[in-house]
């Protein structure tokens, strides 16, 4: 039997985690770790942090939830600060592990890190699984939806039609088999002694995790506290006052669209599972296509993306809850559109794997580079929500305050950055990576390529009329007023193209 080191990444859950089940079933001893890379909190070439404060808070909550669940089975979650390559290499070498269990990564950088570790430890067995996707490569190949590199990647429509025509079904989400969780925990000293000998590594307590990341540059001394102990997860029941068999009235739906109070997402499998149950119990799935473009409101969108991004819930779990909902309440265009959005997300996962470094390239898949550049002052005002476009300002203020933004809002602010401000799309993608609690490498960078016109879409980019969009989605200005989108009225540029000051209109 194996002595396994299980490294959690974007699979922070126990349920529907086949890799975890396999690792436990096949191991005599097992230890669990999560590696926090110090580079997450250092600026990139795009002047942004890979992990911003609000996103890190959400991650801390998810780690705490996982920690509590593992403790209930007599296991420990070791949260290690250090280079992932260094941490995994050291533990595999000095703690006597013969097996590494780790979900297949989607991101290019993460795949490179894992491959570096395996190359250094050729005798270590690898257990892995596709924990982040709706389908497996074998399923998509059988549907002829997953072309190889020689064929080139096809459009989303091609992918969707192939999958739907083949009738591909995700593997049934399995409940975690508690009875099989009998692998003995590796003694803590095995982990602690190795970490103690490495100056570049350290084990993080819950309090130490919180202090790693502070608020953005506007509030550099204001640390974000991670909410304290969430307690052991209880049996989850729908919390809505409505039963799962009832539907909201048209009046209730209209009121929901006008509810602009921000909904605060909480990280963790427990919270993610509860949110999924609450969403389907609300009946909102039956009207999703009508409300999905609203700029806020808890159930106007599904709100699944924060939990999908970090792996608190899986796309397979959502799929089968959706199918159960359709059995109970009927199939309509809105319920289909939830599946459509799952396929959209799925498409970008496999696209990212194929594109590799081209996902991050300025020109992407285009033959020529976009006619954009970088203007520091404009970019700063876009980030701060202080542009001449009030709908964009409100959306950016919402993002900076909550770590979340509606899908429509993301399209509008991305279009503004690229088309109105003329800025390199990668700076926007990097800022989203820093801020969004639902950050997903494939969806984020793939969707930004889509807006910028450097992706696989043959129609090119997307340029939204911001005035028209404001009239359509915030005609009464409630959203703009709520999120203080008016700005300070200052000019977008204070200097011209050769850095000469631009005088105010009345002083010329």
Which residues does the annotation place in the binding site for FAD?
A: 288, 301-305, 438-440
Alpha helices in 176-230 (DSSP H): 188-196, 206-210
First vs last Cα of the chain: how many Å apart?
Answer: 81
**Helix axes 441-452 and 407-415, enclosed angle (nearest 10):** 50
423 closest CA partner among 473, 458, 387: 387
448 closest CA partner among 333, 365, 504: 365
Q: Is the dihedral of CA 392, 394, 400, 406 positive or negative?
A: negative
Residue 244 to residue 247: CA distance in whole angstroms: 8
List Cα–Cα distances, 440 to 51, 100, 135, 435, in angstroms. Answer: 12, 24, 17, 12
78 closest CA partner among 11, 5, 22: 5
Classify 501 as helix, strand or coil.
Answer: strand
Q: What is the CA radius of gyration of the chain?
A: 23
CB-based burial label for 500 (10 Å; 0-12, 13-18, 19+): exposed
List Cα–Cα distances, 32 to 12, 277, 312, in angstroms. Answer: 11, 28, 16
62 closest CA partner among 266, 278, 302: 266
Residue 379 to residue 34: CA distance in whole angstroms: 34
The DSSP 8-state label assigned to residue 423 in this structure reads: B
C-alpha 126: how far from chain center? 25
What are the φ and ψ backbone dihedral angles of 80, each rounded to 5 degrees?
A: -110, 130
C-alpha 324: how far from chain center? 25
Q: Which residues are annotated as a binding site?
A: 288, 301-305, 438-440
Question: 3-state SS string over 327-367?
Answer: HHHCCCHHHHHHHHHHHHHHHHHHHHHHHHHHHHCCCCCCC
Is residue 439 within 8 A of residue 55, CB to CB? The reply is yes
The number of residues making up the chain comes to 508
């Amino acid at each position: 039997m194996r002595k396994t080191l299980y490294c959690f990444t974007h699979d922070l859950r126990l349920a529907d985690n086949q890799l975890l089940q396999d690792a436990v079933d096949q191991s005599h001893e097992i230890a669990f770790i999560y590696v926090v890379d110090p580079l997450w909190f250092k600026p990139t070439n795009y002047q942004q942090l890979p992990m911003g404060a609000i996103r890190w808070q959400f991650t801390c909550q998810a780690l705490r939830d996982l920690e509590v669940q593992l403790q209930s089975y007599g296991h420990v979650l070791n949260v290690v600060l250090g280079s992932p390559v260094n941490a995994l290499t050291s533990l595999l070498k000095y703690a006597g592990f013969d097996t590494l269990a780790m979900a297949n990564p989607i991101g290019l950088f993460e795949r490179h890190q894992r491959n570096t570790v395996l190359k250094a430890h050729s005798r270590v067995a690898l257990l892995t699984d596709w924990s982040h996707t709706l389908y497996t490569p074998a399923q998509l190949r059988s549907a002829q939806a997953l072309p190889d590199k020689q064929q080139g990647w096809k459009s989303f429509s091609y992918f969707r039609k192939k999958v739907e025509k083949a009738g591909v079904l995700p593997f049934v989400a399995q409940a975690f088999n508690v009875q099989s969780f009998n692998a003995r925990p590796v003694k803590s000293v095995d982990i602690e002694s190795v970490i103690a000998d490495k100056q570049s590594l350290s084990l993080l307590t819950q309090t130490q995790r919180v202090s790693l990341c502070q608020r953005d540059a506007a509030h550099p001394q204001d640390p974000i506290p991670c909410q304290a102990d969430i307690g052991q997860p209880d049996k989850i029941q729908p919390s809505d006052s409505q039963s799962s068999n009832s539907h909201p009235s048209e009046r209730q739906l209209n009121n929901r669209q006008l509810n602009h109070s921000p909904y605060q997402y909480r990280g963790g499998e427990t919270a993610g599972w509860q949110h999924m149950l609450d969403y389907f119990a609300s009946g909102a799935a039956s009207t999703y296509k009508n409300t999905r473009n609203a700029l806020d409101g808890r159930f106007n969108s599904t709100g699944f993306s924060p939990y999908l991004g970090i792996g608190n819930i899986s796309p397979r779990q959502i799929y089968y809850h959706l199918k159960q909902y359709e059995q109970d309440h009927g199939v309509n265009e809105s319920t289909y559109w939830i599946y459509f959005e799952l396929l959209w997300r799925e498409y970008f996962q496999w696209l990212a794997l194929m594109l590799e470094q081209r996902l991050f390239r300025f020109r992407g898949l285009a033959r020529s580079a976009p006619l954009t550049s970088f203007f520091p002052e404009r970019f700063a005002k876009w980030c701060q929500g202080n542009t001449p476009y009030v709908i964009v300002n409100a959306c950016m203020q919402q993002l900076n305050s909550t770590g979340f933004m509606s899908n429509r809002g993301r399209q509008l602010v991305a279009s503004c950055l690229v088309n109105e401000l003329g800025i390199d799309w990668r700076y926007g993608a990097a800022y989203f990576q820093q801020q969004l609690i639902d950050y997903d490498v494939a969806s984020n960078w793939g969707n930004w390529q889509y807006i910028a016109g450097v992706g696989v879409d043959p129609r090119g980019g997307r340029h939204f009329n911001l005035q028209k969009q404001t009239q359509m989605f915030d005609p009464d200005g409630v959203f703009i007023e709520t999120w203080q989108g008016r700005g300070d009225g200052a000019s977008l540029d204070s200097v011209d193209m050769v850095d000469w000051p631009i005088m105010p209109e009345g002083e010329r």
